[in-house]
Amino acid sequence: MAAATAAVCVSRRISISRQAWGAATARICTKRRAWNASIKPQDFRLIAGRDELGDYHFNTRQGHHRFCRHCGIAPFGDGDVKEIGGAYVSISVACLDDISPEELAKLPIKYMDGRHDNWFEQPKVTSYL
């Protein structure tokens, strides 16, 4: 898939391309059941609604967890973390509009052990992610 768009509420839209699909066991990722498309910032465009997004930080404060101030949905996050490859944007797959269930079922998923800060290894158990 070359590109996808997501509508969050009425006024927030994003466009992405060149995705890498993943799920992690970090605390916030597990609680949100996060399944994300991670891309480089140059492959991301926020079409509308930047002023309507809140920003949540935790731990090292390197990541920005963006959320809609009206509905609470967290469509994407961004940051710059050297340990995982530098600058990134991570889009919630659940927010993508232009992808069918059949396409989702075929996507390869890279599982990351964020719970133990071992991002380049798969956790022992992934069936709950």
pLDDT in tens, 63-90: 898 988 888 888 899 999 887 789 999 8
37-43: long-range pairs with CB below 8 Å, 24+: 37/4, 37/90, 37/91, 37/93, 37/96, 38/88, 38/89, 38/90, 38/91, 39/88, 39/89, 39/90, 39/91, 40/87, 40/88, 40/89, 41/78, 41/87, 41/88, 41/89, 43/16, 43/17, 43/18, 43/89
Average confidence (pLDDT) over 2-31: 50
Return the domain boundaries, the chain: 3-116
Q: Which residue has the tokens 């509308």?
A: 48
The Cα 74–Cα 92 span in angstroms is 7
Residue 3 has pLDDT above 50, yes or no: no
User: How far, CA to CA in Å, does 82 sit from each of 2, 49, 68?
Assistant: 26, 28, 27
pTM of the model: 0.68
Annotation: CATH topology of 3-116: 2.170.150
Determine which of 17-21, 40-44, 47-51, 65-69 has the lowest per-residue pLDDT on average: 17-21
pLDDT score for 29: 64
Residue 34 has pLDDT above 80, yes or no: no
